[in-house]
Each structure stands twice: as C-alpha cells, then as structure tokens.
Structure 1
Amino acid sequence: MVFEKKHPVRFEAFTSEIVRSVNDNTRRIRILEQGLEGVRSRTSALEEKVIDEVENIKKWLDQLSVDVKDVSKKLTEIHSEILKINKELDKTARKTELKEIESLLELYNPIKSQFVTADQVRRMLEEVKKKV
C-alpha cells in the first residue's frame, strides 16, 4: 500500500476548472458592483432632489410667514380703522333722529304752515261754542 502506484493527478483539468470558476465569480462580482454603483448613483440623485425640495419648502415657508405677518398687520390696521369709523358714526345722527328733526322743521316751517292770529282763534272758539 505504501508502494502502490498512485493515479496521476491531472492538474490541467483542475487548474482550468479553478480558472473558470474564478472568472465566473469575477464576472458576477463585476455585475454586482455595477448594480451597486447604479443604486449609489440613484440614491445620490434622490438625495440631491430631496435637499433641493427641502430648500424650496424652507423658502416657501419663509415667504408664507412674511405674507401671514403682512396680512396680520393689515388686519390690525383695518380693525383700528373700523374702530375709528364706529366712533365717528356714534357722533352722527341716527335715521330716527333725523326724521324727528324733519317733522319738527315741517311743523315750524312758515311757508308750509299756516299760523292763525289771536282774532282767528277767538272766532273759531265762538263758532265751536255756537255749535255746542
């Protein structure tokens, strides 16, 4: 047994199988690396887009804040103007008050009203007494 003849090992077939396996694995690794590079590139592009969108949103929110402050300021001004107008309206006469003044003016208007003299009143009273 010790001196038995051993079968010759075929290194050529063995090395060619190893080379083929290494080449196949190298090709697979290259494909995986290319896919990984594509994923990295898309991730990088997405990150840039997200950063741009965040900056745009920040700008939009800043402008919105300025607009809200401006609207708030204008509303405060409008409110103060309304208060001034209400104070002025309180000083003016109401419609009913104007109607009362108008009726009093019509009553005292010498052009429309007819005034009677004392003699005319006496005569009218005498006529009423005669009727009664």
Structure 2
Amino acid sequence: MRRYSPDDPLRVLDMQHMWQIRSAVIRASGYGCDYFLQGKNFVDWRRYLEYYPKKQARRVFNADTAIRVSLNLLPGEVYGYRGRYDYLDMLVLQKMRRGYLQLFVFTTEKGRNRLPYYWCRIETVFRYDD
C-alpha cells in the first residue's frame, strides 16, 4: 500500500518535473517568486505544454514522458537575461523512478528561425540509457 501513498518518495520523484515546468511558465509570464505564496492560481500553465507521443518519446529519448514548452519572454524579466533573449524553449524528459532532465534553450528572433534545425540536433543528444 505504500506505493500509493502521496508521500511515497518514488511518487514525488516521478512528479517533481511538473512543479519545475509550472514555475518556469509562471516566472516567464512576468510573475515573481511570491506568486505561490499569495495563493494565486490564474495562470493556465498547461496550455504551454506540448507532449511528445508516448511511442516517439520512447524511440527518440528512451523516456516515459517528453515535454516541450515554448514561451515568449517579457522584456527585462527573470529569464530575459539583460534583454538579449526573446524566447525560451524547454525540453523535459522523465523516466519513471529515475528523475527528470530539463534543458533550457534561450533564443533571439534570429535564432528562433533556425530553431527547428537545432531542435532536430538536440533530440539526438539526450537519451536515457538502460
């Protein structure tokens, strides 16, 4: 019965990537660290998620879950890095009972046009090894 307990360490391990994604989306939307402390819950962070199909996630990354997140950054905000970057793309890979990998890709307008080319290369680099 311990496997189904909400405080089971493996369950927490398998779900912690969602908290990181949620936090990144909320911060990129212009809200500060106090967003969670104030009990706010009006940012629909799930609409930014793009899941890889399960078979493709297994074939490309050998992962159970692969998520891509694409965000437009607000100028001068936390992820803006002195106003140099306009976009943030994240790749999140998660394998059950193994933890997760989160890759941040910051791009400018010029880099955004070349992102599909680079994204194909990124997909060949990261892979869970059994």
Output the TM-score relative to the length of structure 2: 0.19
Of structures 1 and 2, the larger Rg is shown by 1
Output the TM-score relative to the length of structure 1: 0.19
Structure 1 or 2: larger strand share?
Answer: 2
